[in-house]
Amino acid sequence: MNLDGKAARKDWTTIAELAQRVGDEKWANRARGQLGLVAGADGDYATALTSLVSAIQKARALGDLTAEIYFRTFLGNGLVANNRPEQALPMFDDAIALGTKSADSGYPIMPVIGKVRALQAMKKRDEALRLIEESLRYSREHQILGAQAELLVQAGLIAFDAKDFSLAETAYLEAAKVARAASLPRMLAAALGNLVDVYSAKGDAKAALRMADEAIATVRQPGEIYDLPSYLARKAELDAKFGRLNEARLIYEEARQLIEGMLVNMPSSPSRSSLIAVMSRVYMGQFKLAAARPDGVAKAFEIIETARGRSVADSLRFGARRPGDTPSPSELKIIGVQRRIRASRTQAELRRLLVELEKAELELAGFESPRNRKAFQDMALLGSKPVSLSVLERQLAPDETILEYVLDEPSSYCIEIKRTGSRIHSFEGKGKIETAVDAVVGAIKRKESFQEKARQLHRLLLSCSSSTATRRLIIVPDGKLHALPFAALIESDGRYLIESKSIGYAPSGTVLSVVRGNGPVEGALKPLFALASSPGVARESKDVSTTRGFFEEVGSKLGPLPFAKEEIATIGNAAGPNSVLFVDQQANEAELKRQALDRFKIIHIVAHAIVSEKDPERSGLLLQPGSVSEDGLWQPREIRRQRLQADLVTLSACQTAVGKLEGQEGVINLARTFLAAGAGSVAASLWMVDDRSTATLMGKFYSQLSKGKSVSDALRDAQLEMIQDFGKQFPPYYWAGFSVIGDGTKRTPLGPSAAITSRTR
C-alpha cells in the first residue's frame, strides 16, 4: 500500500477471494475495507466511504476489535483530508477508547496520530503539540518509523502556521530522513511538499523548486491521486515565479483535471464542496496566472467559476432527488435521535445522543454514497462547465454590474462584469480587507458607531465599480465578504450604499446565469405559502430569547416569537386570495411536507433556526414535528428533495445566510440549499435578527412586492423605509441583516388582482 497502489489492489483482491473460499468472514471483511483504502488513494472517495463504513459495521458484528479501530482511524483520516476535522475527531476518540478494551492493543498510535491531524486542522495547537510529544516519544522508543514521520510532519505544520520557519524546516527534514529510511514514499512526499512552502517563505526559490520536483516524483510512485493536485500546485507556483508561464499553465490544468475526476466520485454534495475547499490552492494559482495576462479576464473568470457555487449550479442544471424519494432507514434513525436531542435535559444525555447521531449520520453517508456517485457521474457526462463570460454579459441589463471578488495575498481581485464588457481590478490584500470587514460587522452587531470604518471599506471594495450608470449591483463574495452587508457601506457623500444602488448577491455568475436562463413553468402557481412556527412556551421562564435563532446546548432559552403571527397575517393580506397560511399547531414539519411546495410563487418561513458552521448538514429550520415520523427539524438533506419553482423563498429566521466557508466553493448555508432546490431567489439573514423589527421589515417588503417591484428593489425600498421611519441613526443591525441571494430581478405580483399564471425564471 505504501509502495504501489496497483499491487496493493491485486494483493487485497486475492486475499478477499481466498477468505471467501475458506469462509473466513474476518479476513474477507478486512480485505474489503483495505480495497476501500486503495480506492481512496485513487481519488474514489465514494467507494472508500462506502467500503469503510461497511467494514466498521461488519468488524463490530464479528467482534474484530483490531479491524474496527483500524478502519475507524482511516475513515477519520479521510474526513480530515476532505476538510471535515470536526466530524473526524469523534472517530479517533472512539478508536482510542476501543483500544483500551483490549490488553493486546498497546498504545493506540494510529488513532492518536489521526487525532493530532484533526486538532491541527481545527487550530487546536496546544492540545495537538501535547499529543505529538507523547506519541513521538512512544514511536521513537518502539522504532515505529512511519509514526515518527507523520508526527514530525504535523509538528512542522504547527511551526509553519506560527511562522517559525526554522523549526518547521528542522521537523520536515527529520521527517524526510525517517521516511527514506523506512521506504515510505507517501510520507516522504508529505515532508518534501511542506519543505516547498518553507523554502518559498524563506525566499529560497531554487531549493523550493528542487523539493517540488522531488515531491511530485515521489508521490507518483505509489500511484497517489488524492494529494497529487496540491503537489502540482506548488510546482506551478514556482514555475510562474521563474517566468516559466506555459509550464505553469500546463501543470495547473493537469491538477484541475485530476480534481474534476475526483469530484465525479464524491459521495455527496457536501463532500464535493469540501474537496473544492481543500483544492482551492489550485484554483487560486491558476486564476492569478490568467488574471495577470492583459487578455486573461475570460479565462480567469472560467477558472474561478469552475469552483464557485459548484454544488448549487450542478443541482440546478442536472436535477436532484424528487419529493417521492422516501427516507432511508438511516434517515429515520437520525430523525429518532434528533427527537430525543430536542427533549434532552442534561449535558450527559446530550453528549450520549450526539455520539448516537454521529453513528447514524455515518450510516446514512455509507448508504447514500453509491446513489450520489451515479448522479455525479451522469452530471459529468452531460458536461459541468461554468457559464462563459460572454454569455453572462449578454444576460445583464444595461444598468447592472456584477462584482465578483477573489481575496488573496498580496493582492485581491475584483472581476467587474457589465453588458458592455468586463475587466479585472486588483486592490488590497485579503488580510487588510477581512480585518476591515470584521470591524464593520462587529460594530453593526454591537450597535456601535461604525460610519468611518464603513466609509473606508467602501473605498477598498467599490473602487472596482467604474460606471456611474450602474443602478443594480450583484455581489459574488469571497471569504469574509460573505458576512458583510454591502447595503450598510457608506459612500463618500455620507449616504448608505443602498440609497444609490439596489444590491443582490449570488454564489457565482454561473448560478445567476442558470437561474435567469430557466424556461417557463408549466401550469398555474398559487401566490404564497407561509408558515409561522413559534414555541408556545419558553423552556425557561425568564431571560428567554426572542431573536430568531436556536442554541443547541441543553437548557437554552428558546422563547416564543410574539410577532410571528402578525408577520404572517400582514404578508398574507399583501399576497391576496389563494394563499396558504400555516400557524399554531398546523405549522409543523409533517404538514409542511404534505404540501406541493413546487406550486407556489413565494414561500415564507418564520421560525427559529439552527445554524451549524462546523457541519452544515445539521442546520435547519425548527418546527413542531407534527407526527412521530418527524423530528421538527427541516434540514438540508430534506430541503434538497424539493423541486421548487418559487421566485422567492424568504427565510425569516436567524443566520440563514451564515454557514461553513468551503474555500472557493463559497459558504454552505440554508439559503444556498433552497437555491439548489430550485428557488429563483432567497431572502436570508446574516445575524441574530430581532423579532419585532424583522416583522416590521417583512411587512414593508411584501407591501413593496405587491406594487410589482422586483425582489431586490422591494427589499431595498423596505430597508429605506425603515431608515426614513426611524431616522438616519437607526442602527443597521435592525434593517441591514437581510439580503437577496440569487436572481433579485424576479417580480412576483401580489394582491387581490394578481393573476395566478405561469412565469419565466
Beta pairing class for 667-668 and 600-606: unpaired
The pTM (predicted TM-score) of the whole model is 0.88
Would you say 462 and 497 are in contact if contact means Cβ atoms under 8 Å apart?
A: yes
Beta pairing class for 421-427 and 412-418: antiparallel
Peptide bond into 410 cis (omega under 30): yes
For 21-33, the DSSP string reads HHT-HHHHHHHHH
Give the per-residue pLDDT at 545. 44
**Of the candidates 652, 739, 658, 729, the residue with the CA atom closest to the CA atom of residue 447:** 729
- Region of residue 678 (left: phi > 0; alpha: psi -120 to 50; beta: else): left
Dist. CA 190–CA 230, nearest whole Å: 10
Instruction: Name residue, grid cell 437520525.
Output: 334
Question: Which residues is 588 bridged to in the sheet?
Answer: 624
Give the per-residue pLDDT at 724. 93
Beta pairing class for 526-532 and 580-582: parallel
Question: Which residues is 532 bridged to in the sheet?
Answer: 606
Dist. CA 615–CA 217, nearest whole Å: 36
Single-letter amino acid code for the residue at 711: V
User: Which residue ranges in the chain fall short of pLDDT 50?
Assistant: 321-324, 537-555, 753-761
For 319-362, the DSSP string reads ----TTPPPPHHHHHHHHHHHHHHH--SHHHHHHHHHHHHHHHH
Beta pairing class for 400-406 and 472-476: parallel
Would you say 603 and 680 are in contact if contact means Cβ atoms under 8 Å apart?
A: no
For 599-614, the DSSP string reads GEEEEEEE-EEE--SS
Dist. CA 139–CA 129, nearest whole Å: 15
Dist. CA 276–CA 229, nearest whole Å: 11
Dist. CA 625–CA 612, nearest whole Å: 20
Beta pairing class for 580-582 and 620-622: unpaired
**Of the candidates 26, 22, 33, 23, the residue with the CA atom closest to the CA atom of residue 8:** 33
* Residue 292: all three cell numbers together: 495577470
Dist. CA 146–CA 150, nearest whole Å: 6
**Tens-digit pLDDT profile for residues 428-443:** 999 999 999 999 999 9
**Of the candidates 698, 710, 703, the residue with the CA atom closest to the CA atom of residue 735:** 698
Torsion of CA 649, 651, 655, 657, to 10 degrees: 0
**Of the candidates 679, 676, 695, the residue with the CA atom closest to the CA atom of residue 738:** 695
Dist. CA 92–CA 467, nearest whole Å: 54
Question: Which residues is 639 bridged to in the sheet?
Answer: none
**Tens-digit pLDDT profile for residues 497-535:** 999 999 999 999 999 999 998 765 656 688 889 998 877
* Residue 630: all three cell numbers together: 418527524
Give the per-residue pLDDT at 124. 94
Dist. CA 20–CA 28, nearest whole Å: 6
Question: Which residues is 605 bridged to in the sheet?
Answer: 531, 651
Dist. CA 323–CA 344, nearest whole Å: 31
Would you say 266 and 275 are in contact if contact means Cβ atoms under 8 Å apart?
A: yes
Neighbours of 752 (CB within 10 A): 9
Q: Three-state SS for 294? A: coil
Would you say 162 and 139 are in contact if contact means Cβ atoms under 8 Å apart?
A: no
Give the per-residue pLDDT at 614. 81
Give the per-residue pLDDT at 539. 43
Would you say 243 and 293 are in contact if contact means Cβ atoms under 8 Å apart?
A: no
Q: What are the residues whose beta carbons fall under 8 Å from the beta carbon of 264, sequence distance 6 or more?
A: 373, 376, 377, 379, 380
**Of the candidates 399, 404, 394, the residue with the CA atom closest to the CA atom of residue 475:** 404
Dist. CA 552–CA 547, nearest whole Å: 14
Give the per-residue pLDDT at 524. 64
Q: What are the residues whose beta carbons fall under 8 Å from the beta carbon of 6, sequence distance 6 or more?
A: 223
Dist. CA 580–CA 530, nearest whole Å: 6
Beta pairing class for 681-685 and 648-652: parallel
Dist. CA 319–CA 66, nearest whole Å: 42
Helix (H) or strand (E) holding 403: strand 400-406
**Of the candidates 318, 335, 324, 332, the residue with the CA atom closest to the CA atom of residue 372:** 318
For 165-208, the DSSP string reads HHHHHHHHHHHHHHHHHTT-HHHHHHHHHHHHHHHHHTT-HHHH
Q: Three-state SS for 385? A: coil
Q: Residue 548 to residues 334, 562, 693, 716: CA-CA distances in angstroms?
A: 24, 11, 11, 21
Q: What are the residues whose beta carbons fall under 8 Å from the beta carbon of 404, sequence distance 6 or more?
A: 301, 304, 308, 414, 415, 417, 476, 508, 509
Taking each helix axis from N to C terminus, what angle separates 280-291 and 297-307, rounded to the nearest 10 degrees?
170
- Region of residue 443 (left: phi > 0; alpha: psi -120 to 50; beta: else): alpha
Taking each helix axis from N to C terminus, what angle separates 310-318 and 347-382, rounded to the nearest 10 degrees?
60
Question: Which residues is 505 bridged to in the sheet?
Answer: 475, 741
| 154 CB burial (10 A radius; 0-12, 13-18, 19+) | buried
Instruction: Name residue, grid cell 492493543.
Output: 105
Instruction: Name residue, grid cell 467482534.
Output: 63
